[in-house]
Amino acid sequence: MTTKLRVGTRKGLFIFEKSHGEWRCGEPCFLGEPVSMAMADPRNGDQYTALNLGHFGVKLHRAEAGSARWTEIAAPTFPKASDGDGPALEQIWELVPGGDRAGTLWAGTIPGGLFQSTDRGESWSLVESLWNRPEREKWMGGGYDKPGIHSICVHPHDSRLVRLAVSTGGVWESADGGASWNLTGRGLRAEFLPPDMAHDPAMQDVHRMVSCAASPDRLWIQHHNGIFRSDDGGHRWTEITGVKPSVFGFAVVVHPRDPANAWFVPGIKDEYRVPVDGRLVVNRTRDGGKTFEQLTAGLPQSKAWDLVYRHGLDIDASGEVLAFGSTTGNLWLSEDQGDHWQCLSNHLPPINVVRFDPAGPEEAPG
């Protein structure tokens, strides 16, 4: 079972560790700095923290396994345009290991760039094969002024197979390590578009996309206007309707071994973005979306206005422990798949990202 949880907030990185049966928070890292992404690499234990300094730009820091000594490394940068009017990095929105390709990392950014590093983040290059796709003209900002790549799923058995999602810009797949891309996402539906454009795959506002580690062709999406499931690697999607109290939300996680098990944090769409009736619930399906349970034990059931961002919910490698954090600075954790929740803090800064560290070798699920 996982024993370490990274919580990236508007004012720093807070690391919770379980010791003697209790989850405790250590001293904050990067206090005062906005953290947009945090990740511990399961291949070598490298720790990464992406900062979005208000005045001085996006920065990326790395610490070696178990170390508290952070070193600034290169952040992705867009190539210089000849007229000086090109894009500039605004946020690292996703950061994932590149599978069995040692040292390889993928980063998704705002504006909607995909970057690859092959040297543990010492250098980055823009994946121009995606950046130059003509469909990118249709991408739009979704919440931020510019579109961004927030979800990257690397196939665990074939690291050249990469799937990603864009807000707003749909679902894309590369089978050749990023050399070429296909726009997939058939069946996604954007209610917020004119009717004749609602099924345009390049205009879908995917809020978050996750794949099951043991069945990587089984994916879930929390979309701007609903919940979708794919059983074929993201090519075709089935919309899940009628979910109470709402199908709107940002976050989704899937069980690492059972793709029929997924969790969501619903809210009122879409101008409000708060829990329905002030009751904070986590929705869980165990049957691929046929039915959902509203999990409430330990969560506030009145006057709760917590919003959970797309990276604000995570599940550990065992599939037992979940955690989520809100923009109100509340952090909850469950050690029984969401049946019961404990509040770890009511006093954190607004939470952007919650990430469990991978289990160590002695802790890996059997």
Partner 1 sequence: MAIISFTDNLKRHVDCPPRDVAASTVMEALRQVFAENPRLGGYILDDQDRLRKHVAIFVDGALIRDRARLSDPLAPASRVDVMQALSGG
Binding residues for partner 1, rule: CB under 8 A, are 53-57, 59, 72, 75, 77-81, 84-89
Give one DSSP letter per residue of 132-173, joined into a string.
T-GGGGG---SSSSS-EEEEEEE-TT-TT-EEEEEETTEEEE
Nearer to partner 1, 79 or 365 (CB): 79
Q: Cα–Cα distance between 258 and 199 in angstroms, integer?
A: 29
Question: Closest Cα to residue 249, out of 183, 218, 185, 205?
Answer: 205
> In the complex, what is the shortest distance from the CB of residue 146 to partner 1, in angstroms, rounded to a whole number?
13
Least Å from the CB of residue 134 to partner 1: 23
Count of residues in the chain? 366
Which of residues 72 and 339 has its CB atom nearest to partner 1 in the complex? Answer: 72
CA geometry: angle 56, 61, 67, nearest 5 deg: 145
Q: Which is nearer to partner 1, 10 or 279 (CB)?
A: 10
Residue 301 C-beta: closest distance to partner 1, Å: 30
CB of 158 to partner 1, least distance (A): 32
Minimum distance of partner 1 from residue 281's CB (angstroms): 30
Task: Give 55 or 290: the residue with its C-beta nearer to partner 1.
Answer: 55
Q: Tell me the closest approach of the beta carbon of residue 87 to partner 1, in angstroms.
A: 7
Find the shortest distance in angstroms from Cβ 346 to partner 1: 20
Assigned token pair, 98: 């590149």
Residues with Cβ within 8 Å of 248's Cβ and at least 6 positions away in sequence, in order, are 224, 225, 226, 266, 267, 268, 269, 270, 273
Residue among 31 and 197 whose Cβ is closer to partner 1: 31
Phi, psi of 152 (to 5 degrees): -130, 125
Half-sphere exposure (Cβ direction) of 10: Cα atoms closer than 13 Å: 12
Name the token pair of 31.
Answer: 């206090």
Nearest CB to partner 1, comparing residues 59 and 186: 59
The residue among 117 and 246 lying less far from partner 1, judged by its C-beta, is 117
Residue type, 98: G
The alpha carbons of the chain give a radius of gyration, in whole angstroms, of 19
Helical (H) or strand (E) element with 130? helix 128-131
